[in-house]
Structures are given as C-alpha cells and as structure tokens.
Homo-oligomer: A and B are copies of this chain.
Amino acid sequence: MNHTSADSPSDLDRHLSGFLGYEMKRALAVLQADLTRVLGALGLRAVSFSALSVIVQTPGLTQSALADALQIERSNLVTLIDELAGRNLIMRAPVAGDRRRHALMPTAEGQNLAREASAAVEAHENRLFAGLTAEERHELQRLLTKFRRTA
C-alpha cells in the first residue's frame, strides 16, 4: 500500500505534525477544552484553579509573588483575586510592617474547593491520558519538565 492510513478526518496538516510545537499545541487544545468543561462545573477557570491552588499551598504570599509564579501580569491578577475573594474562597489579609502588600490567605471553603478541584483535574487527566501507559505518562512528564529546565 502506498497511501498512509487516514488516522484523522482531515490529514492535510500531516507535515506540520513533524514540528513538536504544532503537535504540542494540538494536544494542549484537546486538554484545555476538557479542562475548561471540568473546572467550569466547579465555577472555576483554569487560571483561577491555578491561582487558588498556589494560594492554598503557599498561604500568605503576595499578589506580585503569585503573578510571578503563574507568569501572569499583576494587573491581570486583580480581577481574578477579586473573583476568588468575592466567592469567599480567599481573603486579602494585611501584612504587618508593609501596608502596600496583601497576604493572600485561603478560606476553609477555598481549601475544600481546591481539594475537590484537584481531584477533578486528576480524574480529567487520567481519562484523557488513558491511551498512554503509566510509564508513557511519566516519560511525557519527565520530557516536558526537562525541556522547561533546559530551553
């Protein structure tokens, strides 16, 4: 046989799949579509889940530190923090000795939702990566992390 078996409804982008960046973008699009659905059921977006998780794991950090950690602009963090605070998932607490800073603290409710959301995201990844073995998932994780460290 001299025609490649069609493994995709449209295969016109087959030569682009040779680029890792293209394949990664496509893979991420699939992941994000499902993640948006899963987190949406909990009233969260991907970025608010990330922010809440970091605040739960690192209580007391400032908005600037959180912006650094998530690689988003301080300015764009404001409404996100407003949103989480408005739902009583976190609080802006004063920092002793520097009245410019806010210490971001999770509420009990925020901690509970973070736990629930983490479980949901884990289930989401288990579902989407079911076609890969545990070893393959770990290898993918390792390669992505190595890339991030060395690129």
Contact = CB atoms under 8 A, between A and B. Distances in A.
A122 to B, nearest CB: 8
Q: Is the interface of A mostly helix, strand, loop or mixed?
A: helix
A141 B23 contact: yes
A12 B143 contact: no
A96 interface: no
Given A15-B53, A17-B145, A69 B23 contact: no
Interface in A88-122: 121-122
Contact of A129 (B15, B20, B25, B66): B20
Q: Tell me the number of copies of this protein.
A: 2
A73 interface: no
A128 interface: yes
A26 interface: yes
4 shortest interchain CB distances as A-B pairs: A131-B150, A12-B69, A23-B144, A21-B31
Given A13-B70, A15-B57, A20-B140, 19 more contacts: A12-B54, A12-B58, A12-B61, A13-B50, A18-B141, A21-B35, A22-B50, A23-B141, A23-B144, A23-B148, A24-B28, A24-B31, A26-B71, A29-B71, A129-B151, A132-B147, A136-B143, A139-B139, A140-B144
